Amino acid sequence: MGIKNALELLSGRPLEALSSLTPAELSEIDEIRLRVNRPVSLSVGRRDVILGGVTASPEDIEHTFKTAFSYSMHSYSKELSLGCITTVGGNRVGICGTAVTASDKFTVDTLKYISSINIRIAREVKGCADGIINDCFSGGLCGLLVVGPPSSGKTTVLRDMARQLGSRFKISLIDELNEISATHRNIAQNDVGSLTDVFVGYPKHVGVSTAVRVMSPRAIIADEIGSEEDCRALEYALHCGVKLITAVHGESVSDAEKKPAVQKLMQEGAFSWAAELSPERGIRTVKLD
């Protein structure tokens, strides 16, 4: 589903070239990158590959940009200011251009002159969290910290955990960027579990606090924590008896512990287990208490 939806965002020579690839070749693509008047490149595993002889024109960039935003940029002002949007099928489209900053000069209002686009292909990998589920949740729900560098599969693992745990327990999924559930209007296109309630587009700290108040979850799943506001909201959930399952960028647990938000939550005893993700070594579970 992901690669098919990605091709629907393309036009011109990039679309022609990618449509000529075999299904097996397409299935290996993780990212499609368009840079204006420069060669189209693909991320295949850990390799960056130039799509021979294919350059993205300004018209190609404009078509992909407008299609990703459904030709209604004013309806997606938040996503535009963040520089990314999740499209039908769950693919995350990142955009790069010239920022228009707010009056405080510290926040981005919008973008103009789009120069680069990155389409990250979303995939459901059912069963990829089996080892984590077996190691960490055999005795019931617990707090879990998922640690990994960019593109190590954190979101994919969280998606499968939501599917598996959400078939047994009331789960609230805080899906700020809509990467995990790929919700279109009110329907999650990915399987995130029959007992899972999905909060799409909420700032993470608002989604966590709201979920605790209105859905009484047994556990909260949230991707990529980092800010003090996130930490305070997760502490509030923890003190309300909710288990926390969340992810953070890092090479290892010791690396993640250097982040103040993670350090504070660990001191509060929020996590019983950690799962370290590595593109080279796979998944390693670590008992924390």
Report if residue 254 sits inside a domain.
Answer: yes
Strand bridging mode 108-120 / 144-148: unpaired
Using a cut of 0.85, tell me whether the model's pTM lies above it: no
Same domain, 161 and 184: yes
Report if residue 271 sits inside a domain.
Answer: yes
Same domain, 9 and 100: yes
Question: Which residue, of 94, 120, 146, is where some domain finishes?
Answer: 120
| pLDDT for 185 beyond 80 | no
Same domain, 134 and 203: yes
| pLDDT for 78 beyond 70 | yes
Top-confidence residue, 72 or 219:
219
Same domain, 149 and 274: yes
Top-confidence residue, 207 or 279:
207
Residue 131 has a pLDDT of 97
CA–CA gap between residue 196 and residue 155 (Å, rounded):
16
Give the count of domains, the chain.
Answer: 2
Same domain, 84 and 197: no
Averaged over 66-80, what is the pLDDT?
86
Residue 228 has a pLDDT of 87
Instruction: Tell me the pLDDT band of 213, cut-offs 50, 70 and 90.
Output: very high
| pLDDT for 57 beyond 90 | yes
Question: Which residue, of 71, 93, 120, is where some domain finishes?
Answer: 120
Same domain, 70 and 196: no
Same domain, 72 and 196: no
Same domain, 100 and 55: yes
Same domain, 154 and 248: yes
Same domain, 116 and 137: no
What average pLDDT does the structure give for the chain? Answer: 92
Averaged over 220-228, what is the pLDDT?
88
Residue 90 has a pLDDT of 80
Same domain, 183 and 274: yes
Report if residue 251 sits inside a domain.
Answer: yes
Residue 9 has a pLDDT of 97
- CATH number of residue 20's parent domain: 3.30.450.90
Report if residue 125 sits inside a domain.
Answer: no
| pLDDT for 233 beyond 70 | yes
Residue 225 has a pLDDT of 83
Residue 179 has a pLDDT of 86
Instruction: Tell me the pLDDT band of 54, cut-offs 50, 70 and 90.
Output: very high
Averaged over 181-199, what is the pLDDT?
91
For tokens 């296109």, name the residue.
189
Contacts of 108 (CB under 8 A, 6+ apart): 81, 82, 83, 99, 100, 101, 102
Report if residue 208 sits inside a domain.
Answer: yes
Q: What is the domain range of residue 174?
A: 130-287
CB 18 within 8 A of CB 68: no
Q: In this predicted model, what pLDDT tens digit does every residue of 96-131 receive, in sequence order?
A: 999 888 777 667 878 889 999 999 998 889 999 999
Residue 193 has a pLDDT of 97
- CATH number of residue 143's parent domain: 3.40.50.300
Same domain, 257 and 134: yes
Residue 108 has a pLDDT of 81
Residue 63 has a pLDDT of 97
Question: Which residue, of 95, 120, 145, is where some domain finishes?
Answer: 120
For 79-118, give one letter per residue: b (16+ CB within 10 A) or e.
bbbebbbbbebbbbbbbbbeeeeeeeeeeeebbeebbebb
